[in-house]
């Protein structure tokens, strides 16, 4: 390993990349993803307000290795907790806009949605943080 380099953590890949690489150019591994938020999204309740961090969530990987974010960012109010994500309502713009905040496992583009292996839509969990818990608000009353 050359000085300052890091290794891709995807076991099937393992190539060496520059220290500031965010996405592995070979397999698309996201080095930022492992910095997960400590918030357990499954414990969120209807009415809780959370923030989805910019740049997190699913993205489209192009041939040039660019990540085009397909996630939702900003503040949202929880409507329902689903198996792999949160059904929420955006708190800015169109009030009635319902979005699905993907929180499931990493998934590479495969099958029909895949232009070329690894290219296309990557399902990556959003990174979220709590803004206002409904529970706390009730206690303060």
- Give the footprint of Zn ion on this chain (CB under 5 A): 8, 10, 13, 24, 26-27, 29
CA distance 124 to 56: 8
Both tokens of residue 105? 């496992």
Cβ nearer to Zn ion, comparing 29 with 76: 29
Cβ nearer to Zn ion, comparing 29 with 102: 29
Cβ nearer to Zn ion, comparing 25 with 47: 25
Short-list 85, 58, 88, CA closest to 76: 88
Q: How far is the CB of 79 from Zn ion (least distance, A)?
A: 36
Q: How far is the CB of 8 from Zn ion (least distance, A)?
A: 3
Q: How far is the CB of 11 from Zn ion (least distance, A)?
A: 9
Q: How far is the CB of 135 from Zn ion (least distance, A)?
A: 41
Cβ nearer to Zn ion, comparing 24 with 88: 24
CA distance 26 to 126: 23
Element (H, E) at 66: none
Do residues 76 and 47 make contact, with C-beta atoms less than 8 angstroms apart?
A: no
CA distance 98 to 140: 29
């Amino acid at each position: 390993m050359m000085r300052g380099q890091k290794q891709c953590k995807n076991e099937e890949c393992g190539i060496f990349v520059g220290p500031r690489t965010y996405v592995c150019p070979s397999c698309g591994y996201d080095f930022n993803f492992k910095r997960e938020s400590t918030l357990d999204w499954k414990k969120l309740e209807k009415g809780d307000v959370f923030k989805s961090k910019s740049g997190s969530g699913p993205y489209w990987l192009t041939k040039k290795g660019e990540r085009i974010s397909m996630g939702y960012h900003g503040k949202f109010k929880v409507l329902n907790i689903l198996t792999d994500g949160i059904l929420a309502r955006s708190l800015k713009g169109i009030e009635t806009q319902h979005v699905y905040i993907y929180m499931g496992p990493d998934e590479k583009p495969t099958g029909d949605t895949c232009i070329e292996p690894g290219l296309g839509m990557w399902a990556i969990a959003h990174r979220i943080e709590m803004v206002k818990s409904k529970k706390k608000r009730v206690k303060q009353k």
